[in-house]
Amino acid sequence: VRAILATGDTFRLRLSSIEPGPVATALVQVFKDEPRLCRYLHLSLQSASDDTLKAMRRPYNLKKLNVFCGAFREVAPDATLGADVICGFPGETEDDFFVTRRFLDLWNFAYVHAFPYSERPGTVAAALEGAIPQKLRSARARSLIVDAQKRRAALLAKWQGREVEICVERCENGLSEGWTGEYLRARIPGEFP
């Protein structure tokens, strides 16, 4: 990331699908030092439950996630967070799901790509016990998406009327539309190709 930004050709850079861990932790310093790094971070989270993360063989746990999010929020308090979450992984209890839901709310994740777990033949996970009914998987995913939509609406209201820099992607009907560095869609009067 530093090498890309060092070329001097980069107006801004947005990162996506970062797995929590040593690389993500090192990125916190880059966010602190580099204003061209968009204030949006999308984590390949999958879950915040220690038991579920262990079953998924993920190299992080809830404590590490909280430490990372705390450090990130400290250097980028207005940043927007997003995450990928798998709902209904084999053995996921209501308590496991609640831990993930509470974590997403605690750190104000405004974008959540939640999807129901799906078995992949031949994988270790497909042979695990404790399959969750498909309807429950889907209901959990929907509920996380609804929660995120509410947080995003509150975030948008907070930003409304503020002066921001956007990358214009589309102009029509006298408006220019694009994304802020915080990954919020913005519209401005006038057409700026």
Taking only the tens place, the pLDDT of each residue in 14-32 is 888 888 877 777 888 899 9
pLDDT (tens digit per residue) in 37-67: 999 999 999 999 999 999 999 999 999 999 9
pLDDT at 100 over 90: yes
Q: What is the pLDDT of residue 145?
A: 98
Residue-wise pLDDT tens digits, 142-171: 999 999 999 999 999 999 888 888 888 999
- CA–CA separation, 119 vs 137, rounded Å? 12
**Does pTM top 0.85 for this prediction?**
yes
Q: In what order do the strands lie in the sheet with 80-87?
A: 40-46, 80-87, 109-116
pLDDT digits (tens, 9 = 90+) for 65-79: 999 999 999 999 999
Going by pLDDT thresholds of 50, 70 and 90, the confidence category of residue 127 is confident
Provide the pLDDT for residue 165: 87
Contact 107, 73 (CB under 8 A): yes
Q: Average of pLDDT values for 99-123?
A: 96
Is the pLDDT at 192 greater than 80? The verdict is no
Query: Burial of 7 by CB count in 10 Å (0-12 exposed, 13-18 middle, 19+ buried)?
Result: exposed
5: Cα separation from own chain's centroid = 22
For the chain, the average pLDDT equals 92
Instruction: Assign 101 a pLDDT band (cuts: 50, 70, 90).
Output: very high
Output the pLDDT for position 193.
64
